[in-house]
Amino acid sequence: MSTSTRLLVVAAGVTGLLVAGLGHSVSGRAADVSSIAGIRLQAMLDVKNVVPAPQKLRSGAAGTFVATLTGDRLNWRLTLRRLTSLAYGAHVHFGPPGTREIRFGEELMRKQQAIFLCGPCVSGSYGVEPRLTLGIVRLILNGDAFIVVHTGLNQYGELAGRLKIVHGS
């Protein structure tokens, strides 16, 4: 079985668990995602993944975002190299591949359309996002989450990459 097929099977299995047993209860109480443990995620950040395309670039600009999803917590680390200017913000955005992200900031976060990670960000920035909702966990596991790093010279994003499962338990 190829790596991509294994990842798809893991994602489908975890999503199936969420839908079957961990979703909202009949009484409407909050979802229980406590059985999710140690799902490793990664996004390879590149200029070619930014929509719309960055206006100013530096050769070799890239980065990685690695995370572990455990229950409703996302532990993450961001590495960056050769940006045009200070990364004043990094966010998790949601949408299927090809989503055009024109706005960012507090409005998107209020609507749970983005999760603020850091700002300003430096290579090696890390953190924990607690209390993710079941809906956000589903978006992440279904491949509908992507990381965008915003800089002073590329406000709509200089680096971006789709968040993918690299290992699950």
Indicate whether this model's pTM tops 0.85. no
Q: Crossing angle of helices 3-17/134-141, nearest 10°?
A: 160
pLDDT for 3 equals 41
Q: HEC states along 81-127?
A: ECCCCCEEEEEEEECCCCCCCCCCCHHHHHCCCEEEEECCECCCEEE
Q: According to the model, what pLDDT value does residue 23 have?
A: 34
pLDDT at residue 78, rounded to an integer: 98
DSSP letter, residue 48: G
Q: Residue 60 has which token pair? A: 């070799």
CA-only gyration radius of the chain, Å? 16
CATH number, domain of 148, equals: 2.60.40
Classify residue 42 as left (phi > 0), alpha (psi -120 to 50) or beta: beta
Q: Structural domain of residue 79, as residue ranges?
A: 3-167
Q: For residue 134, what pLDDT is reported? A: 87
Identity of the residue numbered 116:
F
Mean pLDDT, 10 residues at a time, the chain of 169 residues: 39 36 31 78 92 86 96 95 95 78 46 80 93 88 91 91 81
156-168 burial, b if ≥16 CB within 10 A, otherwise e? bbbbbbbbbbeeb
Please enumerate in sequence order all residues whose Cβ is within 8 A of that of 168, keeping only pairs 6 or more positions apart, or say none: 7, 10, 11, 13, 14, 38, 39, 40
45 contacts 34 by C-beta, under 8 angstroms: no
**How many independent structural domains does the chain possess?**
1
